Chain A
Amino acid sequence: MAHTQLEHELAELLVDALNLEETTPESIAPEAPLFGDGLGLDSIDALELALAISRKYGFQLRADDTRNQEIFANLRALAAHIEANRADP
């Protein structure tokens, strides 16, 4: 499935911020899991990603444990969360 513009931007940010050398932004499916079996990100990656997102979109990620899993479930969910919270709409 094709990326929206924000999803593509975010995929680039992800590859860039986390140094996913063997991954191209285009190859990150919008609904594939980012953590665990998907891209295999971990909690330190989540911290790095949160920092990159706060710099680019001007808001701090927040999550209690359950919402954390929702927001970081996949690229699409993360993009939707950013769309709803970004400081520069």
Chain B
Amino acid sequence: MISHPPERRTTREQLLRRAQMLATELSQHVHTPATAPVINLCRERDHFLLLFCAALLAHRTTLLPPSPTPHVIEALKHDHPGALQLDDQALKELAQGDEISASHRHSDPSTPAATSPSPLTALLNEHAWPSPTFTAVTLHTSGSTGEAQPHRRTWQQLRSGAALLAQRLALGERRYQLIGTVPAQHTYGLETTILLPLLTEHTVCAGCPLFPEDLRSLLTALSPPRILVTSPPHLRACLESAIEWPQTELILSATAPLSAELAQQAEERFGARVLEIYGSTETGALATRRTVETPIWQPLEGVELEAANGNWIASGPHFPSCTLHDVLELDPNGPGFFLHGRSRDMLKIAGKRHSAAALSALLQAAPGVRDAVILPPEDNPWDPARVAALVVAAPPDAAAVKGWLREHVDPVFLPRPLLFVDTLPRDPSGKLPRAALIELLERRRMQDES
């Protein structure tokens, strides 16, 4: 199940055996209610998986915070008195002195996947797994959509989601090695880098690399075929680095729209198929598309989309039915759909409507622009009737960017002001929290005045 580094290679059986020990350890050494939830802050995938499985086997819900910042964790603990909070370091200390986290140097390190034949049903009998309706995970939405909200997933929903995703990725009989640059605490990282290795035959690298060179060296150490799980900002950093990338059969991208241009570059430089996943914390993965081939998203098997009162309601076997925050348009020629941005981002200026997300995407495609975001008039301290834009570009040429934009949208949507910045305050999953954007605008505004 864990493929790399060599001293941490682990089969599913080994991991579950240790998870069972850890589950016992948690109940013996920590004086909290036996069913208190676990806040899993581990960055390393093997630690996350170990703690996640231990929680499952102890019938404890895993709580995943939207970010690892102290005040977010405190709020979570306030809502869940007695919750156990463990990160990589705490897990190591708890497991010290026994065999829980010890590396299995004597195990056969050559083919971890091959030594674990599809054992899920056998394991279900062997271990005290929770019932299908047990709330295995509570995810939380991040700040960009207002107050942190809990989103619960049952054990059955997690298993269905992993199966549907594996089916869509069409990986066939080959066993892939995954590596992720996104945190396991978010839906996307959880579904790909945790549930796929746990519930299918593919394996995952323990590390969560940040720098492109770290990623290159880990990717190279994995034996093909490989899957890179990443996000648009990270992919851009990788492509801008003068690094020669090893053949990577599949790249997954989510959390923000990926431009067709970036997808094309990634396909060429990595020799990869680049698939974008569309989903949300509320739903998990809903649809995918190969960005270089089509703008149309194909829903996962069993996902249904229904229009109701101007909103879209999604239902599927792996999440509770809910209203989407995005504007969809069904493809008249098939089961797919177009995505037109977030409904709450819908701009209305001088009686004309445009999606802020679509406008941001347009701006991102302007000449010389590397990253950009449109802020709605209500967030614009200079002119409350116009959108503002924060743009990362080299060289910063406002006339060129505005000229390009003018060719594509109604002039009422031209940003006033269009500000150049060196970087946008994206969070680890690539999202732009509204509070951070407003703070950035306010800082610029105060500078202008001083």
Contacts and interface: CB of A to CB of B under 8 A. Distances in A.
Interface in B203-248: 207-208, 210-214, 216-217, 233-234, 237, 240-243
B443 interface: yes
Contact of A63 (B211, B233, B234, B421): B211
A12 interface: no
Contact of B447 (A16, A21, A62): A21
Contact of A60 (B208, B212, B233, B234): B212
B423 interface: yes
A50 B211 contact: yes
A17 interface: yes
Contact of A54 (B217, B242, B428): B242
Interface in A62-80: 62-65, 68
Nearest to A50: B211
B423 A51 contact: no
Interface string B413-450: 00000000111011110000000000000011001000
Interface stretch (A1-9, A25-33, A41-49): A41-49
B426 A60 contact: no
B215 to A, nearest CB: 10
B422 A62 contact: no
Contacts of A50: 210-213, 237
A54 B214 contact: no
Contact of A62 (B211, B240, B428): B211
Interface string B25-44: 00000000000000000011
A51 B394 CA distance: 14
Given A21-B443, A50-B211, A60 B243 contact: yes
Contacts of A45: 423
Contacts of B444: 21
Interface residues of A, number: 23
Contacts of A68: 210
A80 to B, nearest CB: 17
A22 interface: yes
Nearest to B238: A47
A51 B237 contact: yes
A19 B423 contact: yes
Nearest to B5: A64
Contacts of A17: 422
A60 B428 contact: no
Given A44-B428, A51-B240, A62 B217 contact: yes
Contact of A43 (B88, B240, B242, B428): B428
Nearest to A59: B213
A6 B216 CA distance: 28
Given A42-B428, A62-B211, A47 B237 contact: yes
A63 B210 contact: yes
Nearest to A52: B422
Contact of B241 (A42, A51, A63): A51
B210 A48 contact: no
A60 B241 contact: yes
Given A47-B210, A60-B213, A19 B241 contact: no
Nearest to B420: A19
Contacts of A51: 212, 237, 240-241
A75 to B, nearest CB: 18
A24 to B, nearest CB: 14
A23 B243 CA distance: 32
Interface string B49-87: 000000000000000000000000000000000000000
A64 B447 contact: no
B189 to A, nearest CB: 14
Given A42-B428, A51-B241, A60-B243, A16 B212 contact: no
Contacts of B210: 43, 46-47, 50, 63, 68
A44 B214 contact: no
B448 to A, nearest CB: 11
Contact of B234 (A47, A61, A65): A47
A56 to B, nearest CB: 13
Contacts of A63: 210-211, 214
Given A44-B233, A54-B241, 12 more contacts: A18-B422, A21-B444, A44-B425, A44-B427, A46-B211, A51-B237, A60-B211, A60-B243, A61-B211, A63-B211, A63-B214, A65-B207
Interface of B: 43-44, 88, 207-208, 210-214, 216-217, 233-234, 237, 240-243, 421-423, 425-428, 443-444, 447
15 contacts: A42-B427, A44-B427, A44-B428, A47-B211, A47-B237, A48-B237, A50-B210, A51-B212, A51-B240, A51-B241, A62-B211, A62-B214, A65-B44, A65-B88, A68-B210
